[in-house]
Amino acid sequence: MTRRLSYREAMREAMREALQNDPRVFLMGEDVGRYGGTYAFSKGFLDEFGPERIRDTPLSELGFVGAGIGAALGGLRPIVEVMTVNFSLLALDQIVNSAALLRHMSGGQFPVPLVIRMCTGAGRQLAAQHSHSFEGWYAHIPGIKVLAPATIEDARGMLAPALADPDPVVIFEHCGLFNVEGELPDNGDDCAVDIASAKVRRAGKDVAIITYGGCLPKALAAAETLAQDGISAEVLDLRVLRPLDDAAIAAAVAKCRRVVVVDENWKSGGLAAEIVARIVEHAFFELDAPVARVCAEEVPIPYAKHLEEAALPQPDKIVAAVKGLFA
């Protein structure tokens, strides 16, 4: 039997399970306790697990992420929630200079088994300071693993292996997905998924749409439209932004010969640029058309709804980009 639940419920279940199963796990972040989480992911946790394990923090990302790193070094398994990736820039020094480097700097003596979760992306009229996508920056850094669950299954199943990972894992949850509902396959008690590979979410043969996170539903919608026009689109969900699943990317290119990369980052220096570069490096002779990108427009994400929509990748833009690869 499959179960139907929302992305929010899946994530909440995953955290509750982790808290129940392992006394070393605790949750820390702004408003995670009394308020129940900015996005209600930890509603009821304070009552169930108590203030020792569900810790509200001051508005100081640098401080509480650093405290999380210390707790991880001390043997705990912290889940640190940062309200949005925009605010995580305040904690960048702790994540990039400490969490990602300590194992390396200590000659392997001090791994940092830390999970940092944060919300990313636009589409909810939260204006520029709450709407950007910087996961590509994190994917730049050796020493951390970067995940982008885009499905109910991944929202439910990525946390456990992330906590089991001996190194820091950063999980990006797109704010546009929280209310999305879907079926969760029944695998008994074990909901864990792998956190190493990309997955084909829709098989096709004429064009590969490579995407992740909040753009996945848009890519699937575009594929549906394209199917009506006789173009069979494969949709590859990267899932793991660092390290990238090069083999899956190359396989999609070899199969479809045409590629559109869809990503809510800006094009300049973004993750889509990295993917295109790898395709050109590893699969150039498989290509039957130039590689196209659909990314955010090169502007701060606008507040006004119609402008915000216009600034972001949308199904119709993906359809147009795909058609541009055919004559």
Q: Which residues bind other proteins (CB under 8 A)?
A: 257, 284-290, 324-327
**What is the rounded distance in angstroms from the CA atom of residue 214 to the CA atom of residue 319?**
17
| Among candidate residues 179, 236, 177, 228, the one with its CA nearest the CA of residue 203 | 236
Closer of 92 and 287 to other proteins (Cβ): 287
What sign results for the dihedral spanned by CA atoms 33, 36, 37, 41? Answer: positive
Closer of 85 and 283 to other proteins (Cβ): 283
Closer of 35 and 326 to other proteins (Cβ): 326
Please give the structure tokens belonging to residue 316.
């119709």
| Among candidate residues 326, 314, 316, the one with its CA nearest the CA of residue 123 | 314
CB of 70 to other proteins, least distance (A): 51
Closer of 132 and 258 to other proteins (Cβ): 258
SS3 state of residue 281: helix
**What is the rounded distance in angstroms from the CA atom of residue 18 to the CA atom of residue 191?**
11
Please, are residues 185 and 153 in contact by the beta-carbon 8 Å criterion? yes
Please give the structure tokens belonging to residue 245.
């699943």
In eight-state DSSP terms, residue 130 is G
What sign results for the dihedral spanned by CA atoms 299, 304, 310, 315? Answer: positive
Say whether 130 is catalytic: yes
Closer of 166 and 324 to other proteins (Cβ): 324
Say whether 140 is catalytic: no
Place of tokens 């009821």: 44
H or E segment at 95?
none
Please, are residues 174 and 122 in contact by the beta-carbon 8 Å criterion? no
CB of 206 to other proteins, least distance (A): 10
Q: Which of 9, 30, 61, 274 is catalytic?
A: 61
CB of 327 to other proteins, least distance (A): 5
Please, are residues 255 and 205 in contact by the beta-carbon 8 Å criterion? yes
Q: Which of 9, 30, 81, 130 is catalytic?
A: 130
CB of 314 to other proteins, least distance (A): 19
H or E segment at 78?
strand 77-84
Place of tokens 């190493």: 196
CB of 289 to other proteins, least distance (A): 6
Closer of 221 and 254 to other proteins (Cβ): 254
CB of 254 to other proteins, least distance (A): 9
Phi, psi of 176 (to 5 degrees): -80, -10
**Catalytic residue numbers, as ranges:** 61, 130
